[in-house]
Amino acid sequence: MSESETHTTASPKFAPLWPFVALLGVGVATFIYGLSSAHPAHAWQTYLINFLLWSAIAQGAVLFSAVMHMTNARWSGPLASLSEAFTAFFPISFLLFLILFLGQNHIFPWLHEDLHGKEIWLNIPFLFTRDALGLLILYGLGCGYLYHALQLKIDPAQTGNKIRRMIVNAHQSNALTPEAVKRRMTIWGGLYILAFALVLCLIGFDLVMSMDPHWISTLFGAYHFVKAFYLGLGALIILATIIRVRQGKASVLTPAHFHDLGKLYFAFCLLWADFFFVQLLVIYYGNIPEETHYVIVRAMLAPWNKVAWAVFFVCFVGPFLILLNKNLKTKPVFMAVICSLVIVGIWFEHLLLLGPALSHGAPTIHLSVADGLISLGFLGLMALAVGHFIRVFPETAGLKGTIT
Amino acid sequence: MPAEQHIMGIFRDEDQVITAVHDLQASPYRFVRVNMPVPSHKIMEALNLKKSRVGWFTLCGGIIGFLAGFALAIFTATRWNLIVSGKPIVAIIPFVVVGFEATILFAVFGNVIGLLTQMKLPNNRWLKYYDPRCSGEHFGVLASCAAEQTEALKDFFRNQGAELGEFNQLETTKP
């Protein structure tokens, strides 16, 4: 492990987390209010959209660290460590998935439909069992990778809470050399990457594509995990911007880091759009009614066509044209704004994929302030998880000094 | 007038290169160039070079390619006016494939033309005074001086922590 320069003063200063606790409270209250209203299905739809979005952000961000390690990349520097902070959302995501079980009657439109033989795959016990197992494996591998990654950077002189002490004790009792730890990271990281692809494919098929149970796109699962990496990179840029702005010139994050990460973000903007287009082209040329109705409803007919075009411009055209410029990629705040807009755009993309199936042909898109408040609740949850992780392990943010 | 002597200092560390470049620019010797095995943001910032225009060539090539790709597909489709599988004659979705590929192709052409023109290639001056270690894991800082200053320049590089470069010089005499 290369030594990072010491840039900071004695005590790292952390942002207060109470605003995010407030956001979480507002989100939970709005969700519970929605459940008790006349349309609980709508609250569950928003819950599902947010669960998919924020879980994908965490899964994709951690993938960055694993990929950097597997490729022996040096350019990422402190960014790979920073991305490990999103592992803190994994246990929360798993709990959120289990809560989905309670809303099954409102989430899965195929529950009471004749599925013409697909019942063998699309049934609640099997679906929840396989998805829970998949997420458990994915998150277990991610945490295993994190466990070893932290041993390379943790400062044993600094004590902290129980989890930190556990890592420190493990590091001291294992007495492994850095090379041995890196070899273990390679195994865990490689397995995480494999599980990422397979599990997110499964989640994409089960929780998004199955909402229209008679429509199939073979690449849909891969589209879901490419989207997750795109989201994860965006979230990493936002977190890196926050760290950079708080630390100022003393930060280990330089404009060159943002430039390099921005280039990778640009590449995944293209890849995400490409995976969408590849599916579209095949459906377009095949012109099979069983396949085309899905695209026609979402891209050509009101009310969803406006959402489709908005997503296209916000998540692809805008970032593509803007990120061609080198200077803009080196500006952290600007990049954070772009990435935030893309994350909002992908929220609407999830709405576009799920909405027509869950709203059962409603003439208008039912969006309200409640959807925004529930989404802010999820944002608060993610910020609390990541913020708390950085407080416990400030080394991941390139901070040294007394942990307060 | 005695010919200038070119001396190259070979470094392994980019921070030493930056220090050497700054000291060279403040010295009586003439800084020529830095050879890098990998792109280095830090060294390029230290050199404070003029912004390259090659990117503009690439962008223009890409725009021309985008328009040319769609134009080619639309032109050829309208020559035949055949309705295939009920699709319109001018069908944007499949034409995106042609447009995209042409964008990349012409952007690459633009990039190559930009490199050739901006670097004034073909020109063997980049191969003169070149140490092959710069293609490995070493940085090479090339400077020139008057003949009588050769030893002083060599000492300058040694004091900066460099080894001295060994050149595979091209034949420079004219036919």
Matching residue, tokens 């099997």? A126
Residue B109 belongs to domain spanning: 54-118
Between the ranges A8-12, A67-71, B24-28, B123-127, where is the mean pLDDT highest?
Answer: A67-71
| Distance to chain A for B85, nearest Cα, Å | 8
> Are residues B58 and B45 part of one domain?
no
Q: Is B31 helix (H, G, I), strand (E, B) or coil?
A: strand
Residues of B within 8 A of A280 (CB-CB) are: 93
Paired tokens of A198: 């397979």
Residues of B within 8 A of A326 (CB-CB) are: 55
**Residues A307-362 pLDDT 10s:** 999 999 999 999 999 999 989 999 999 999 999 999 999 999 999 999 999 887 77
Contact B93 A284 (CB under 8 A): yes
CB atoms closer than 10 angstroms to residue B148: 9
Residues of A within 8 A of B85 (CB-CB) are: 285, 287
> What is residue A396's predicted lDDT score, i.e. its pLDDT?
87
> What is residue A11's predicted lDDT score, i.e. its pLDDT?
54
Of A109, A62, A64, nearest to A214 by C-alpha is A109
Residue B66 lies in a domain: yes
Cα gap A174→A157, rounded to integer Å: 17
DSSP per-residue letters across A204-234: HHHHTGGGSTT---TTHHHHHHHHHHHHHHH
Mean of pLDDT over chain A? 91
| Distance to chain B for A136, nearest Cα, Å | 40
Residue B93 lies in a domain: yes
| Distance to chain A for B12, nearest Cα, Å | 16
Return the CATH number at B13: 3.30.1340
> What is residue B124's predicted lDDT score, i.e. its pLDDT?
79
Dihedrals φ, ψ of B9, to 5°? -95, 130
> What is residue A173's predicted lDDT score, i.e. its pLDDT?
84
B62 to chain A: closest CA residue: A324
Dihedrals φ, ψ of B122, to 5°? -75, 135
Residues of B within 8 A of A5 (CB-CB) are: none
> Are residues B80 and B99 part of one domain?
yes
CB atoms closer than 10 angstroms to residue A302: 9
Name which of B55, B85, B97 is nearest A287 (Cβ-Cβ).
Answer: B85
CB atoms closer than 10 angstroms to residue A226: 22
CA distances from A385 to A179, A372, B89 (A): 30, 20, 54
Residue B138 lies in a domain: yes
Contact A281 B93 (CB under 8 A): yes
B38 to chain A: closest CA residue: A75
pLDDT above 90: residue A148 = yes
Would you list the domain boundaries of chain A?
22-397
User: Chain B within 8 Å of A285 (Cβ-Cβ)?
Assistant: yes
Q: Identity (one letter) of the amino acid at A281?
A: L
Matching residue, tokens 């990049």? A335
A325 to chain B: closest CA residue: B55
Residues of B within 8 A of A259 (CB-CB) are: 41
Can you say whether residue A13 is alpha, beta or left, with left for phi > 0 and alpha for psi between -120 and 50 degrees? beta
Q: Which residues pair with B33 in a beta bridge?
A: B142
| Distance to chain B for A309, nearest Cα, Å | 14
pLDDT above 80: residue A195 = yes
Chain B interface with A: residues with Cβ < 8 Å: 41-42, 55, 59, 85-87, 93-94, 96-97
Residue B20 lies in a domain: yes
> What is residue A12's predicted lDDT score, i.e. its pLDDT?
59
Residues of A within 8 A of B55 (CB-CB) are: 326
> What is residue A331's predicted lDDT score, i.e. its pLDDT?
93
| Distance to chain A for B147, nearest Cα, Å | 40
Lowest mean pLDDT among A26-40, A189-203, A387-401: A387-401
CA distances from A320 to A64, A211, A345, A351 (A): 21, 30, 14, 22
Residue B169 lies in a domain: no
> Are residues B74 and B38 part of one domain?
no
Cβ neighbourhood burial of A321 (10 Å; 0-12, 13-18, 19+): exposed
Q: Which residues pair with B9 in a beta bridge?
A: B141, B164
pLDDT band at A175 (very low <50, low <70, confident <90, very high): confident
Residue where one domain finishes, among candidates B95, B118, B141: B118
Cα gap A234→A341, rounded to integer Å: 10
Between the ranges A7-11, A165-169, A284-288, where is the mean pLDDT highest?
Answer: A284-288
pLDDT above 90: residue A7 = no
pLDDT above 50: residue A170 = yes
A277 to chain B: closest CA residue: B93
Residues of A within 8 A of B38 (CB-CB) are: none
> Are residues B90 and B35 part of one domain?
no
Name which of B41, B85, B97 is nearest A256 (Cβ-Cβ).
Answer: B41
pLDDT band at A17 (very low <50, low <70, confident <90, very high): confident
Of A206, A193, A240, nearest to A78 by C-alpha is A240
> What is residue A3's predicted lDDT score, i.e. its pLDDT?
35
> Which positions 308-337 of A are in contact with B (Cβ < 8 Å)?
324, 326
Which residue pairs from A336-342 have beta carbons closer than 8 angstroms and sit at least 24 positions apart in sequence?
A: A336/A237, A336/A238, A336/A241, A336/A242, A339/A233, A339/A234, A339/A235, A339/A237, A339/A238, A339/A265, A340/A234, A340/A238, A341/A314, A342/A230, A342/A231, A342/A234, A342/A269, A342/A314, A342/A315
pLDDT band at A219 (very low <50, low <70, confident <90, very high): very high
> What is residue B170's predicted lDDT score, i.e. its pLDDT?
46
> Are residues B44 and B128 part of one domain?
yes
Paired tokens of B21: 């470049």
Residues with Cβ within 8 Å of residue B27, at least 6 apart in sequence: B156
Q: Provide the number of structural domains found in chain B.
A: 2
pLDDT band at A13 (very low <50, low <70, confident <90, very high): low
Dihedrals φ, ψ of B46, to 5°? -65, -35
Taking the CA of residue A389 as centre, how many other CA atoms within 13 Å lie in the half-sphere pointing to its CB? 26
pLDDT tens string for chain B (175 positions)? 557 889 999 999 989 999 999 999 899 999 999 999 988 888 988 898 888 899 999 999 999 999 999 999 999 999 998 898 888 999 999 999 999 999 999 999 999 999 999 988 888 777 788 888 888 889 999 999 998 999 999 999 999 999 998 775 543 433 3
Residue B175 lies in a domain: no
- Name the percent of chain A lying above pLDDT 70: 95
Q: Which helix (H) or strand (E) holds B30?
A: strand B30-35
Of A66, A48, A382, A53, nearest to A195 by C-alpha is A66
